Chains A and B, each alone.
Chain A
Amino acid sequence: MIQRSPSLREVYVWELPVRIFHWTNAIAIVGLCITGYIIGNPPAIQHATAPVDNYWFGIVRFIHFVCAMLFIINFLVRIYWFFAGNSFARWFNYIPISKKQWRGIKETLKIDIMLLSPKPIYDIGHNPLAATTYGGLFLIMFLQSITGMMMYAPQSNAFWAPFFQKMLIFFNGFFVVRTFHHWLMWAFILFAIVHIYLVFYHDYIEKNGIASSMIGGWKFIPRAIVEDYIAEENAKTNLKRLKREYFLSKIFRRRKRLDSQAIKPDTENNQS
């Protein structure tokens, strides 16, 4: 029996809403890509029957619209979770602004993508490169939702339809929007290929249970990495507290000084 005994800790990384979002999104995207491709390139099915007896293309479109609604509502819930979730799910993960994120992107590119070093690199949540890619994915999801809504609007009686129809016509109509929507479908497909491969890759070399973590939420992380992470988090909260205190004391003292200055001329006047 092959065994290994590194000191590992279980970390609860993906909360339930994140996991539900992930799988709902995956199902919706698969459904949308398949039906979307069929809508763009209808297969040659020959019928002997009259149009009254058939509705298959309508059903394909119907599935596309149902999946689209699921996709958008799911996305809205995730946007809420950008602000309510744990530190692995919050919005700042997906925008590379800090120096640490850029360092992480560089290291991940070197080690995991270019395979320049045999050494491993560990991350508890998303690695910075993956998180940035997901940021891009969220942007594409947003654009795809908007362009889809625009094209859905002319056949809808919903209260939001006139708004999107105006938007559609503002963006020069169906020709532009439809082509853009079709291009973005391929962005999803390319993303899915690389994403699924990299899950296999990380699970295979790091043995951290990343694939099953999207079902159960738990990852297996080396104890040293977790301790470092906790130390970093503590230092960060400490820094935040200090910054807040400094800011408050600055305002407080400034007010005190202003008050004292305001009184002075008054007293002078009284004396004279």
Chain B
Amino acid sequence: MDKKKIITTYDFLKGRGISRRDFMKFCGIMGSMLGLKASGVEQVVDAFMTKPRIPVIWEHFQECTCCSESFVRCSHPIIQDVLLEMISLDYDDTIMAAAGQQALDVQKASMKENYGNYILLVEGAVPLGNPGFCTLGGNSALDVLVEDARGAKAIIAWGNCASSGCIQHAKPNPTDAQPIHKIIKGKPIVNVQGCPPIADVMAGVITYILTFDKLPELDQQLRPKVFYGRRIHDTCYRRPCYDAGLFVQSFDDENAKKGYCLYYMGCKGPNTFNSCAVIKWNLGVSYPIQSGHGCIGCAEPNFWDYEPLYKHIPYTYGFGVESNADKIGAGLAGIALGGVIAHAIATNMRKHKMIKGDMGEDYSINQEDTEKTLSNISEQVEKIKENENDLDSDEKEQK
């Protein structure tokens, strides 16, 4: 290894004809996205010019490849070029030229050579229900994941599938799909949430790991705090409309044209930690809310289970179609009111004597209870006295 010249990312970029100026631009973008100061950007430049490229194994399990699609469509053409050169993508069955046994051989060779150094990128959930639900080259997804994870320095779980199961994990979860952090223990794992995650966020996470040789600061769901520390709601440009109570009532009304808040239309922005409203998508052109559609909350675990997407209060299952907390609550309140009225009428009939004051002084129920309580207490008192006598006699015997 030491005799070989270290091939850095910068060397690769030069070979691809990317100018020094463009390279510095890329480092600047990454640095600002990670919230680094000017000296931090220097560190990024330094890392790209001196450190060897990170060997990467990219696995696909139960998923739709939208994370890969997002990854190769980074917001800036330079980022796109750099990203694919930044890492030494040794195995990615979707975009690599090799196929079949040849591809698997490449993967095995890379894993052997870089044992303990490579980063495992996982896209998709792993079905535990039956290995037949997802197999790669004749091996079940679970076996492949465990095998790959053994020599990995760290695991990055791309997207909602790998981070929390996404739609395959939604009720009733027929394949028993589970996210990576539920299966692999004892390895550093980063969940890069979203369906798909924002490409720039994916680039940012990899840049951070390459630059600082450690994982970014994570929250309780193992998401990088830099990108998942704030809600879409709190960074949304339509937030003033929310506070003013200006809501879109239907997608074709005047308010929708004016660009009012989509809260009423079931926007899950208030529920979702992500940086869509800051970084945006597709060359920074827009993000769902800006395009007039509410957020569906794709960066939150189990977001599919809180349907419908176009209502704020989710359905409650087991009480009929389209029932939610408010409908059931109002129904129960109605039943309670009815019960109370019925009880009041029954009381007037059953307790008629008492209401009229004809019962006299009948305390029999309370007196029975008091008798029971008192006899219970006196029993206990007697027991204690017996025990005390025993103690006394014991003492006498000893003497």
Contact = CB atoms under 8 A, between A and B. Distances in A.
Interface in B311-341: 312-314, 325-326, 328-329, 332-333, 336-337, 340
A235 B374 contact: yes
A40 interface: yes
A173 B269 CA distance: 12
A121 interface: yes
B244 A58 contact: yes
B365 A120 contact: yes
Contact of A121 (B350, B365, B378, B385): B365
Interface stretch (A82-90, A133-141, A184-192): A184-192
A174 B272 contact: yes
A99 B373 CA distance: 9
B70 interface: no
Contacts of A185: 329
B347 A47 contact: no
A19 interface: no
A232 interface: yes
B242 A57 contact: yes
Interface residues of A, number: 78
A46 B241 CA distance: 12
A186 B333 CA distance: 8
Contacts of B370: 228, 231-232
Interface residues of B, number: 78
B381 A239 contact: yes
Interface stretch (B42-50, B120-128, B134-142, B387-395): B387-395
Interface stretch (B75-83, B89-97, B351-359): B351-359
Contacts of A225: 363, 366
B219 A166 contact: yes
A40 B313 contact: yes
B302 A175 contact: yes
Interface string B357-386: 101011111110110111011101100110
* Binding site secondary structure of chain A: helix
Interface string A175-211: 1101100110110011001100100110011000000
A173 B273 contact: yes
Given A173-B221, A197-B340, A107 B365 contact: yes
A54 B243 CA distance: 8
Interface stretch (A10-18, A20-28, A64-72, A243-251): A243-251
B50 to A, nearest CB: 36
Contacts of A125: none
A247 B219 CA distance: 51
Contact of A242 (B303, B340, B359, B381): B381
Contacts of B230: 154
Interface stretch (B150-158, B209-217, B245-253, B283-291): B245-253
B364 A197 contact: no
Contacts of A235: 373-374, 377-378
B325 A179 contact: yes
Contact of B336 (A121, A122, A194): A194
Given A154-B231, A194-B336, A235-B377, A174 B270 contact: yes
Contacts of B332: 186, 190
Given A172-B221, A201-B344, 18 more contacts: A47-B244, A51-B240, A52-B244, A55-B244, A57-B245, A99-B376, A111-B365, A118-B353, A173-B272, A174-B272, A179-B306, A186-B333, A194-B336, A235-B373, A239-B381, A242-B385, A246-B388, A257-B398
8 A-B pairs with least C-beta separation: A186-B329, A57-B245, A54-B244, A174-B271, A58-B243, A51-B240, A51-B244, A169-B220
